[in-house]
Amino acid sequence: MANSKYEYVRAFEHDDNLLPNTWIVVRIDGRGFHRFSDRYKFQKPNDERALNLMNAAACAVVRDLPDLIIAYGVSDEYSKLVTTIVSTFTAHYVYLWPSFFPTPLEPEFLPSFDGRAVQYPSVRNLRDYMSWRQADCHINNLYNTTFWSLILRGGMSNTEAENRLQGTVSGDKNEILFSQFGINYNNEPEMYKKGSVVFRDYEIKPQTEKNDGGTSSKEGDFDTGEEGPPSEMSKSQIAKLRKMQKKATVVIRHVDIIKDEFWEQRPWILSNKPGKLPAVD
């Protein structure tokens, strides 16, 4: 088989190498979900079942792929990483659909997702990326909540609602919601306002000076003493880390990820070294 005259095409199959020691963010987005959500009658603006289904699929992906949220380039292949995550996500989405929606999926209207990978070289970049997404979630949700209130409760057409909201700032939208519909935006569900963050949950430990990076704790085994990629860990250290990650529960939270508090309380997310606080550079 080897050395056939056709084999030269293999040269076209080049590796998409990722930079080592960076944060790889894979962003998944439903393809044509505007139409898809119409077809399956998602409630507007937020269909809770659809959001819970996305969350369940995301949890399943994190459970399935132990490399996720290990920050430092375990995987070095861009295309492999993206396709694996996206196809795993889609598989779970389809599998879990009946647990969330009464109508079965139709072969002509099946869900699919695109995925892109972006690399961020620092914790600051990564946190800014997450902050950007959460700020976007807030802006979109405030807009959509007001937009759909005007339509569903205010009797406006889509165009009228759009015109009404043209040029408004968030204060105006809060005011419309409150004065016209008696809605206090602050009391809207956290999942709608803040989105969902999925991560492995470990015990939140009070940080003491002695405890940071100490070898007495089990977690200390993974502390290489510096901010290095996993390649600096021995095979047995990696195996131990895997074991701990498998035991950890994957949780969904709807909390502020822009402020420091979320990250400071869960140092394992950014350090991949439970028990040690990472430095935000």
- The three state secondary structure string of 148-182 is HHHHHCCCCCHHHHHHHHCCCCHHHHHHHHHHHHC
Instruction: Tell me: is residue 266 an annotated ligand-binding position.
Output: no
Interface contacts to Mg ion, rule CB under 5 A:
29-30, 33
- CA 11, 15, 19 angle in degrees (round to 5)? 150
Instruction: Tell me: is residue 37 an annotated ligand-binding position.
Output: no
Shortest CB 129 distance to Mg ion, Å: 16
50 binds ligand ATP (CB under 6 A): yes
Say which entry of Mg ion, ligand ATP, none residue 42 contacts (CB below 5 to 8 A, set by partner kind). Answer: ligand ATP
CA 50, CA 47: separation in Å to the nearest integer?
5
User: What is the maximal distance between C-alpha atoms in the chain?
Assistant: 76
Which of 50, 126 has the CB closer to ligand ATP? Answer: 50
Number of chain positions touching ligand ATP (CB under 6 A): 20
Shortest CB 105 distance to Mg ion, Å: 17
Shortest CB 50 distance to ligand ATP, Å: 3
What is the end-to-end Cα distance of the chain in Å, rounded?
Answer: 52
Instruction: Tell me: is residue 154 an annotated ligand-binding position.
Output: no
Q: Token pair of 213, please?
A: 């990076």
Contacts of 26 (CB under 8 A, 6+ apart): 81, 82, 85, 86, 115, 116, 117
44 binds ligand ATP (CB under 6 A): yes
Bridge partner list, 216: none
Site for ligand ATP in 107-136 (CB under 6 A): 136
Instruction: Tell me: is residue 195 an annotated ligand-binding position.
Output: no
Counting Cβ atoms within 10 Å, is residue 200 exposed (0-12), middle (13-18) or buried (19+)? buried
Shortest CB 19 distance to ligand ATP, Å: 24
Contacts of 125 (CB under 8 A, 6+ apart): 23
Shortest CB 57 distance to Mg ion, Å: 15
Site for ligand ATP in 5-34 (CB under 6 A): 29-34
Q: What residues are designated binding site for Mg(2+)?
A: 29-30, 76
Where does this chain bind ligand ATP (CB under 6 A)?
A: 29-34, 37, 42, 44-47, 50-51, 136, 140, 143-144, 158, 162
Q: What residues are designated binding site for GTP?
A: 29-34, 75-76
Q: What residues are designated binding site?
A: 29-34, 75-76
